[in-house]
Amino acid sequence: MEEIIIDANISKEKRYESLWPQISSLIDGEKNLIANMANIAAALHQTFGWWWIGFYLVDKETNDLVLGPFQGPIACTRIAKGKGVCGIAWKQAQTIIVPDVDTFPGHIACSTASKSEIVLPLILAGEVLAVLDVDSEHLNYFDETDSKWLQKVVDLLTKNQPWKL
């Protein structure tokens, strides 16, 4: 596959539905987690044009999140457990949707252009291994449609293991 082809004029739900088989095909059989995360971030970024999308991986030696594959402007390199939206999603092992990041206590502003955010943990055998972080430059951008489909993407990564780095 060389490019993602999605009609930008269809609903968000339809874009996810159209993208799903392309993402599945894109990572099918590839066991390198970083490569799969990179292609997923690129495919989602190309389809939705979000301000920033990427993965933070749990660094067990330092007990923080370290920047992984992403699309968008430069980002925070490390995030402590329980800090910011990503660190809290990791600590609580649950998805967090933030309609307005300026009202989120402890939000880490890697970019002042970010206005809303969704973070989903990648969980395997009860342990958070990474988080998927998506930022929009628009307020109230993310909703249950995003949560549902991005959870499917994260679940696809956990099903496509064992991985190699």
Q: What is the pLDDT of residues 11-48, one digit of tens each?
A: 999 999 999 999 999 998 898 999 999 999 999 999 99
By the 8 A CB rule, do 143 and 134 touch?
Answer: no
Tell me what pLDDT residue 141 has: 96
Q: Top-level CATH class of 12-159?
A: alpha beta
| 114 — pLDDT class (breaks 50, 70, 90) | confident
Tell me what pLDDT residue 106 has: 72
Distance, in Å, from the CA atom of 145 to the CA atom of 149, rounded to the nearest integer, reads: 6
CB proximity list for 92: less than 8 A, separation 6 or greater:
none
Q: Residue 10 pLDDT more than 90?
A: yes
Tell me what pLDDT residue 2 has: 65
- The lowest-confidence range among 34-43, 59-68, 84-93, 99-108 is 99-108
> What percentage of the chain reaches a pLDDT higher than 90?
76
Tell me what pLDDT residue 163 has: 62
Q: How far is CA 6 from the centre of its chain?
A: 19
- Give the start-to-end residue ranges of the domains of the chain: 12-159
Q: Residue 7 pLDDT more than 80?
A: yes
Q: What confidence tens digit (pLDDT) does each residue in 15-24 have?
A: 999 999 999 9
Query: To 5 degrees, how large is the angle CA 113–CA 119–CA 120?
Result: 160
Q: What is the average pLDDT value for the chain, to the nearest integer?
A: 91
DSSP 165: -
